[in-house]
Chain A
Amino acid sequence: MIRALSTSATGLEAQAANIERISNDLANVNTDGYKRSRNEFSDLMYETIKEAGGQLGAASQSPVGIQQGLGVKVGANHKNFEQGPAKITNHPYDLMIEGRGFLPVQLQNGEVAYTRTGAFKLDAQGRMTLNSGAQLIPQLVVPPNAMGVQISPSGEVKVALPGGEEATLGQIQLFTFQNEQGLAARGEGLYKPTLGSGPALQGVPGENGLGALLQGALEGSNVNVANSMVEMIQTQRAYEMNTKVMGVADQMLGATVNIK
């Protein structure tokens, strides 16, 4: 009976973690490049009181054993990298990846991170920079007299200069990972590789299964509001049921205490 108390406590903890996850998803329903996540629960260990298949007589075995489960835990938090909807912005430095891949950026502390939020702006030196100050790799410097920037689906960046000239600034590369779900989210749409994700694999946009680049568009959040709301209802009710069990365990303890 004390077990029921702690078992339902693990249930409460897991459902609370789920509500936190859902609230984070819903809070980011309008965050460009945000990827929704999913908590995967798994049951905890079992206390085996009696083994199934134990000998009952010369020729008979007990068909079932006694196993008492001890609750639940959050087994994994799984990011879903499904494509989000395209939002046309017509801003020349907005890049959307249509398909797999991440854009590499250099953080202000020199580290490399990867993102699908391609909302770049130009800084004072003409470099393509994210809101957080992270700069696109390779560093592309747009000359101050550029009339327009053209980024091809395969990542080639060209500028039109006065006098009808055209100059190629560089080539944007995309990166993939063997296990995208192993990436560590760093906030601001940035991800860092981990031992679980494997090393970053470089490629040209649009080739070898990588997504193509789309200039003037951004990838919206892939949060599905209807699904999240349904999950929220389920989680809330599951939480309530666990508190009910806790109440019952408490009543039973109370009844036991009050025998005398």
Chain B
Amino acid sequence: MPRLGKFGMAIAVMEPWETGRLQGAKDLASGLWTSVSGANARAFEVDTVANNLANADTLGFKKDQATFKEYLSVAERENGSAEVPRGPIKDKDFHQLEGRDQAFVLNDGTYTNFRQGPLRVTNSPLDLAMDGPGFLEVSTPQGVRYTRHGGMKVAADGRLVTSEGYPVLSAQPTGLAEQEGNRVPATALGLSVTGTPADPNVSGRFINLRDRGAHFSISDQGELFAGDERIAQVRVAEFKDTRLLRKAGSALFENRDPANVSAGPQRTIVRQGVLEGSNVNPIEEMTALIRANRQFEQDMKALKTYGDLMGRESNDIGKL
């Protein structure tokens, strides 16, 4: 079976969509890879749905959507010559396929849906929800990250931190770095809040709530007051294009392009005593799950059919 041998080689060295080109237009089995690419895409979609549903109750989580695109071999398209039909025109006259319809599904990207999540009232004074497109700016050992999970705490050394222990940054320098002398260094306490990037521009923007009591009020612009005293304004960053944000886990996002931070007036309203839930909609996810499952089954059916055809090709044609 030289054909099958060639086929086997193709599996080893080629990307699936390339095998079609190699096999030529008349190869019966080349359609096999179309269904494989379909099945792969559906499996990826199920992975995405699984992650969305696992995070259906994660504060500040933004759901992912997989997008797919059709991959067509351009060369194969161009080879087809235009045939002008004579006589009555039928459907097939418009599309001279003959195996040149090698279309594969490719995973094009995952798109994070930044739709607002539901707001839940918690009445805890240090819970913040962003009503609008903004993000809180936090300092992590890997650099500045952005989050919409506004469940904040006061660390043992008085710094305002996220649940994960990363310091929340203020919009203007608070001069906390200069007060280093009268603070217990976080390292001495063995805390996980030691993620202090050396950059004074970042460490100078930590917010200190040491000895300020427990009564904080936060204005809708993010200004933090202890009693009548304005301590800091929590930095709320907005982006020109949220699609450029990269997920970093723990509800954190990374912005790789400094020019992406919008400098315009703040459109986000900060709500105190409220948290933003996950924006995963279970109905959408379950629908996507069912659809992906059934499409996967269809791809598998097609794959099985191709398998049967190949079996007949190799065993029955020789008998003629």
List the one stretch of B73-81, B93-101, B198-206, B297-305 in contact with chain A. B297-305
A4→B289 CA distance, assembly (Å):
11
A66 CB-CB contact with B under 8 Å: yes
Tell me the residues in window 105-125 of chain B with beta carbons closer than 8 Å to chain A beta carbons.
107-112, 122-124
B29 CB-CB contact with A under 8 Å: no
A79→B109 CA distance, assembly (Å):
39
Q: Are the C-beta atoms of B48 and A68 separated by less than 8 Å?
A: yes
Q: Are the C-beta atoms of A245 and B300 separated by less than 8 Å?
A: no
Q: Are the C-beta atoms of B46 and A241 separated by less than 8 Å?
A: no
Contact of A68 among B51, B184, B248 (CB under 8 A): B51
Tell me the residues in window 243-262 of chain B with beta carbons closer than 8 Å to chain A beta carbons.
243-244, 246-251, 256-257
Residue of A43, A65, A75, A255 with most chain B CB atoms under a 10 A cut-off: A43
Q: Contacts A53-B244, A209-B213, A260-B307 hold; do A71 and B54 have CB atoms under 8 A apart?
A: yes
Nearest chain A CB to B215's CB is how many angstroms away? Answer: 7
Nearest chain A CB to B213's CB is how many angstroms away? Answer: 4
Tell me the residues in window 234-260 of chain A with beta carbons closer than 8 Å to chain B beta carbons.
234-235, 237-238, 241-242, 244-245, 248-249, 251-252, 255-256, 258-260
A77 to chain B: closest residue by CB = B163
Tell me the residues in window 36-80 of chain B with beta carbons closer than 8 Å to chain A beta carbons.
39, 42-44, 46-59, 61, 64, 66-67
Q: Are the C-beta atoms of A178 and B55 separated by less than 8 Å?
A: no
Interface of B: prevailing SS: mixed
A15 CB-CB contact with B under 8 Å: yes
Taken residue by residue from 147 to 169, chain B's Cβ proximity to chain A (1 for < 8 Å, 0 otherwise) reads as 00101011111100001100000
A10 CB-CB contact with B under 8 Å: yes
Contact of A64 among B54, B109, B292, B296 (CB under 8 A): B109
**Residues from chain B with Cβ under 8 Å of A50 in the complex:** 109
**Residues from chain A with Cβ under 8 Å of B108 in the complex:** 64, 66
Tell me the residues in window 37-80 of chain A with beta carbons closer than 8 Å to chain B beta carbons.
38, 40-46, 48-53, 62-72, 75-76, 78, 80
B246 to chain A: closest residue by CB = A52
Tell me the residues in window 134-168 of chain A with beta carbons closer than 8 Å to chain B beta carbons.
none
A196 CB-CB contact with B under 8 Å: yes
**Residues from chain B with Cβ under 8 Å of A1 in the complex:** 43, 46-47
Q: Are the C-beta atoms of A178 and B154 separated by less than 8 Å?
A: yes
A237→B158 CA distance, assembly (Å):
38
A177→B153 CA distance, assembly (Å):
12
B303 to chain A: closest residue by CB = A259
A11 CB-CB contact with B under 8 Å: yes
Interface size on B, residues (CB 8 A): 73
Q: Contacts A66-B110, A72-B54, A241-B286 hold; do A52 and B156 have CB atoms under 8 A apart?
A: no
B9 CB-CB contact with A under 8 Å: no
A131 CB-CB contact with B under 8 Å: no
A8 CB-CB contact with B under 8 Å: yes
**Residues from chain A with Cβ under 8 Å of B190 in the complex:** 195
**Residues from chain B with Cβ under 8 Å of A117 in the complex:** none
Taken residue by residue from 9 to 47, chain B's Cβ proximity to chain A (1 for < 8 Å, 0 otherwise) reads as 000000000000000000000000000000100111011
Contact of B156 among A44, A78, A176, A197 (CB under 8 A): A197
**Residues from chain A with Cβ under 8 Å of B154 in the complex:** 178-179
A63 to chain B: closest residue by CB = B243
Q: Are the C-beta atoms of B289 and A43 separated by less than 8 Å?
A: no
B240 CB-CB contact with A under 8 Å: no
Q: Are the C-beta atoms of A3 and B50 separated by less than 8 Å?
A: yes
Q: Are the C-beta atoms of B47 and A68 separated by less than 8 Å?
A: yes
Q: Are the C-beta atoms of B57 and A4 separated by less than 8 Å?
A: no
**Residues from chain B with Cβ under 8 Å of A4 in the complex:** 43, 46-47, 49-50
**Residues from chain B with Cβ under 8 Å of A174 in the complex:** none
A238→B50 CA distance, assembly (Å):
11
Nearest chain A CB to B107's CB is how many angstroms away? Answer: 6
A216→B55 CA distance, assembly (Å):
46
A180→B155 CA distance, assembly (Å):
9
Q: Are the C-beta atoms of A67 and B157 separated by less than 8 Å?
A: no
Q: Are the C-beta atoms of A244 and B47 separated by less than 8 Å?
A: no
A-B contact pairs, 22 of them (CB 8 A): A4-B43, A4-B47, A4-B50, A43-B61, A52-B244, A52-B246, A64-B109, A64-B110, A72-B54, A80-B124, A100-B213, A178-B157, A179-B155, A179-B156, A182-B153, A182-B156, A196-B156, A198-B184, A208-B213, A237-B282, A259-B304, A259-B307
Q: Other CB < 8 Å A-B pairs besides A43-B55, A179-B153, 17 of them? A: A3-B50, A7-B50, A40-B149, A45-B248, A46-B247, A52-B109, A66-B108, A69-B247, A69-B249, A78-B163, A178-B154, A178-B155, A198-B156, A208-B213, A245-B49, A252-B43, A258-B300
